[in-house]
Amino acid sequence: MAPFIIIAIVLLGLVLLISNKLRYDIIALLLLAIGLICGVIPFDQAYVGFMNPAVTSVACIMVITRALIHSNILYLFTHKISHLMKSQTGHIAVLVGLTTIFSMFMNNVGALSLVLPIAVKTADEMNHPRSSILMPMAFGAGLGGLCTSFGTPPNLIISSFREEALGAPFSVLNFTPVGLSVTIVGVLFLVFIGWRLVHKKNAQSKSKDENNRYICEVVLQKNSPLISQTLSSVNEGENFPFKVFNVFKRGEVCSDKDQKFQEHDRLMIEMQIKDLEVLVHKYKVEFRLLTQPEHKEYHFVEAVVTKSSRLIGRKLKDLNLSGRFDFNVIGVRKTEKDSEHLLEKKSLTAGDAVLIATKQDKLNRHTQYLGLLTVNWLDPIKEIGFKNFLPLIFFIFTVALNILKIIPLPVALGFTVILIILTDLLPLRLLYESVNWPIIILLAAMIPIAQSFQATGGAELISNLFVNTFCNCHPVVLLGLMMLMTIFLSDLINNTATALIMAPIAIDVARSANLSIDTFLMAIAVGASCSFATPIGHQNNVIIYNIGKYKFSDYLKLGIPLEAVVFIVALISLLYFWPIYG
């Protein structure tokens, strides 16, 4: 009975994850509770996931990634190399290449966040559509993570399953032959073919007009040249770089389009990000939440709301964070036809682009805490010294110790974090904020479920059904089908959850067919990171959704061909580097 119960729990988890009604960490905790109540998970195994080295390694990688971002050296590198971009293909090649290389050694989201501000800025300056750049970058980050054991959480999970099955984990570079082969071919596809599949020709002529427009609320100051203008004269005139939707006089909407504007009137406007300085200095307006004298030193920043943001569900009209954070959301990117009611009715969701105002020295802290990812900001780099390079030096040194088999990878990553803390390279206030706790909870809660899935015979039951169904198939077909199943799941649910569900099945399929466990686990590692065909498969896909003005179909246009390329190259590489009968 136990195998059927655990299979039912796993299937329930798949349904809940695909429905996207609850956050994935809550779903994992719910499944763990059901498993404990039903008796398929022993009570003394409830929190064994927190002791798993993979969980510790993922948390350490997140802290190290934050320290590298905080050091500014990688941002400096991207900023310098951005001047080498000339043609659109070259532009895309540089940005995708940088994102891919960074993601080989750090968290994928961190790699994308490093290059994203440069990508947005240079795309707008060169009049290249963001759509042709951002999706290849996000997918490049996913490909780069395949190359090392710490490049992406699924690789660490697969490595831990290998240790349980065969007594030793994969080494850091065991993933490199197959991962690098897939990455090179995948990046070449993205640079020379893939971006053309999501290139929006109309966006090129409108990238500075429509793709960059925000809805904001401003207050007219005493000397504003807009005083004595009317709604009709502003919207019908050609000299004003903005459009006025509503006028509020003494808190009430003014319906008379010919009534003259007065001091302290509030205007609901639509504007471009590049016209901020003109709006503030030439037209003498202040944003509604920034009317105090101390707000004069605020900087404007464009950011995107991530899946874990504390602002999700909050309405823009009620969002005033100045008292607690010196940080304000003052506008939202135009994404709805009914723009004039956007500020009143809009609740923030993952992927929304917002305009924020804050002090420069508080920008990193508040965006990290609130779950916002900066995509367009003033250059924060003032001076780079030897200390800025220490996080990278520590990281390279400790990983080298692991490659030389002096210390295990979780210990090496832990040493890196300790060195970063002792040398004050990352403020302590950012240490725990650096960790994506929903991912950690997901891992810790799903590991006991995955272990029970294997221990109770649930994985064996499914693997036997799989092998019996395809018993007449060639072993290569079995391997390919396992990878295809993993790719399909990774497009629908979190890639970490995909690895946790599919790894036990892959091990039992390999054992039942008397094939190499390593080959099948590597296939799962590749498949779990191929979440390219939907915007929900990976957090990076969500981040770029609104910034690039994508539709769901755009992910299918580029994601499915890329997944086909990855599948073919990975299958060939697996058979060459990891013999299936080994």
Contact 216, 271 (CB under 8 A): yes
- Please provide the average confidence, as pLDDT, over all residues in the chain: 82
pLDDT at site 372? 85
Q: Mean pLDDT, to the nearest integer, of 221-247?
A: 83
Q: How far apart are CA 480 and CA 6, in angstroms?
A: 26
Decide if pLDDT at 525 tops 70.
yes
pLDDT at site 147? 92
pLDDT at site 317? 65
Contact 333, 214 (CB under 8 A): yes
Picking from 262, 333, 259, 261, the residue whose alpha carbon sits closest to that of residue 302 is 333
Decide if pLDDT at 238 tops 80.
no
Backbone torsions φ then ψ of 205, nearest 5 degrees: -85, -10
pLDDT at site 378? 43
Strands (E), 283-326: 285-287, 299-305
More confident position, 206 or 123: 123
- According to CATH, the topology of domain 213-376 is Alpha-Beta Plaits (3.30.70)
Q: Mean pLDDT, to the nearest integer, of 183-197?
A: 93
pLDDT at site 383? 56
pLDDT at site 321? 62
Dihedral, CA of residue 219, residue 220, residue 221 and residue 225, to nearest 10: 150
Q: How confident is the model at residue 319 (pLDDT cuts 50, 70, 90)?
A: low
pLDDT at site 550? 85
Contact 391, 420 (CB under 8 A): yes
pLDDT at site 521? 95
Q: Mean pLDDT, to the nearest integer, of 155-159?
A: 92
Decide if pLDDT at 33 tops 90.
yes
- CA atoms 30, 33, 39, 40: torsion sign: positive
Q: In the chain, count of helices (H) and strands (E)?
A: 26, 9
Q: How far apart are CA 559 and CA 557, in angstroms?
A: 6
pLDDT at site 151? 84
Decide if pLDDT at 85 tops 60.
yes
The burial of 561, by beta-carbon neighbours within 10 Å (0-12 exposed, 13-18 middle, 19 or more buried), is given as middle
Q: How confident is the model at residue 467 (pLDDT cuts 50, 70, 90)?
A: confident
Q: How far apart are CA 569 and CA 178, in angstroms?
A: 9
Decide if pLDDT at 52 tops 70.
yes
Q: How far apart are CA 243 and CA 234, in angstroms?
A: 7
Which range, 59-73, 285-299, 486-500, is most confident?
486-500
Q: How far apart are CA 400 and CA 326, in angstroms?
A: 42
Longest dimension (CA), the chain: 84
Q: Give the H or E element holding residue 14.
A: helix 2-19
pTM: 0.70
Buried residues in 273-299 as b, exposed as e (16+ CB within 10 A): bebbeebbeebbbbbbbbeeeebeebe
- Residues near 578 by beta carbon (within 8 Å), at least 6 away in sequence: 178, 516, 518, 519, 522
Q: How far apart are CA 218 and CA 290, in angstroms?
A: 9
* Domain map (residue ranges) of the chain: 2-203+431-577, 213-376
* 198-222 pLDDT tens trace: 876 544 444 444 556 788 888 888 8
Picking from 296, 230, 221, the residue whose alpha carbon sits closest to that of residue 260 is 230
pLDDT at site 237? 73
Q: How confident is the model at residue 408 (pLDDT cuts 50, 70, 90)?
A: confident
Decide if pLDDT at 388 tops 50.
yes
- CA atoms 11, 12, 16, 17: torsion sign: negative
Strands (E), 510-562: none
Decide if pLDDT at 359 tops 80.
no
Dihedral, CA of residue 91, residue 93, residue 96 and residue 98, to nearest 10: -90
pLDDT at site 515? 92
Question: 287 has which bridge partners?
Answer: 218
Contact 134, 31 (CB under 8 A): no
Could you count the other beta carbons within 10 Å of the beta carbon of residue 6?
27
pLDDT at site 207? 43
Label the pairing between strands 299-305 and 252-253. unpaired
pLDDT at site 360? 64
Contact 449, 441 (CB under 8 A): no
